[in-house]
Amino acid sequence: MLMLDVKDVHKHFGQLHVLKGISLQLERGETGVLFGRSGSGKSTLLRCINYLESIDSGEIYVDSELVTPDRAKLRKLRANIGFVFQHFNLFPHLSILGNVTLGLKVVKKTPEDEAREIALKALEDVGLKEKAENYPEELSGGQQQRVAIARSIAMNPKMILFDEPTSALDPELIGEVLEVMKDLSQQGMTMLVVSHEMGFARETADKMFFLHNGKLVEEGPPSEIFRKPKTEECRRFIEAIL
């Protein structure tokens, strides 16, 4: 069962051709790691899947649903896709619990008590139940990112997209976030992760995708990608970051 099906997607920013015909698939429960040089279009691809950016041509299906600009459909779709940002984007005026329950209450119209229960469970999953009453600014970067993940999980999504979730973190905080993501992956969540954490990719990814200048030039299981990359660019890139 395909969870994510990206078909020949093109995207321009003005004159700049950022995505040049990307096709990529993820099965339900798979974890994909997307990597490549800065500016290669990784964030743009992720954002297109959630329609934070429009696409010029091609099609994207999430669980067989076409990603369209139709607003009502889009809201439903987005409620079913988690998105974890590089800079967390927690809501600073809401408590941790408020952050995790907001989507439930506003989008899913979940009653207060039930929303609270679901949120506490999600916070427990990321190991932050005791911080429920704190505010984002009182948490470390790693903790904030775990809250952002809990905010996504609480919505019970079909898939979660991660855009460089650890690259804004101090090195000693990266581990705790990757640990949470690994757990999620093992519990069967479908995930597409933009990351250059090669240790995480090796242990967790089912598939890896190497994006270069807006094209998907290489894809395969980590064993293949790390052992014998097919293209020179990919080989050099992996060497540079390992």
Ligand X SMILES: Nc1ncnc2c1ncn2[C@@H]1O[C@H](COP(=O)(O)OP(=O)(O)OP(=O)(O)O)[C@@H](O)[C@H]1O
Q: Write down the least CB distance from residue 241 to another protein, Å.
A: 26
Please spell the DSSP secondary structure of 60-124, one letter per residue. EEETTEE--S-HHHHHHHHHTEEEE-TT----TTS-HHHHHHHHHHHTS---HHHHHHHHHHHHH
Taking the least distance from each CB to ligand X, the nearer of 157 and 214 is: 214
Beta bridge pairs of residue 68? none
Say if CB 96 and CB 89 are below 8 A apart.
no
Say if CB 219 and CB 208 are below 8 A apart.
yes
110 binds Mg ion (CB under 5 A): no
> Rounded distance, CA 217 to CA 41, Å?
13
Q: Write down the least CB distance from residue 137 to ligand X, Å.
A: 25
40 binds ligand X (CB under 6 A): yes
Bridge-based pairing of strands 16-27 and 2-13 is antiparallel
Say if CB 163 and CB 194 are below 8 A apart.
yes
Taking the least distance from each CB to ligand X, the nearer of 47 and 131 is: 47
> Rounded distance, CA 151 to CA 162, Å?
13
Tokens coding 166: 């650890």
50 binds another protein (CB under 8 A): yes
Q: How far apart, in Å, are the Cα atoms of 132 and each of 56, 127, 139, 147?
A: 42, 11, 11, 9
54 binds ligand X (CB under 6 A): no
Among 16, 66, 106, 241, binds another protein (CB under 8 A): 106
Contact set for ligand X, span 1-30 (CB under 6 A):
13, 16, 18
40 binds Mg ion (CB under 5 A): no
Q: Write down the least CB distance from residue 194 to ligand X, Å.
A: 7
93 binds another protein (CB under 8 A): yes
41 binds ligand X (CB under 6 A): yes
Q: Write down the least CB distance from residue 141 to another protein, Å.
A: 14
- Written as one letter, the residue type at 64 is S
| Site stretch for another protein (CB under 8 A), options 16-24, 25-33, 78-86, 231-239 | 78-86
Taking the least distance from each CB to ligand X, the nearer of 113 and 239 is: 239
Torsion angle of C-alpha atoms 211, 224, 60, 31, degrees rounded to 10: -110
50 binds ligand X (CB under 6 A): no
166 binds Mg ion (CB under 5 A): no
43 binds Mg ion (CB under 5 A): yes
Note the residues at the interface with another protein (CB under 8 A): 50, 52, 71, 75-83, 85, 87, 89-93, 102-103, 106-107, 148, 151, 155
Note the residues at the interface with Mg ion (CB under 5 A): 43
Note the residues at the interface with ligand X (CB under 6 A): 13, 16, 18, 38-44
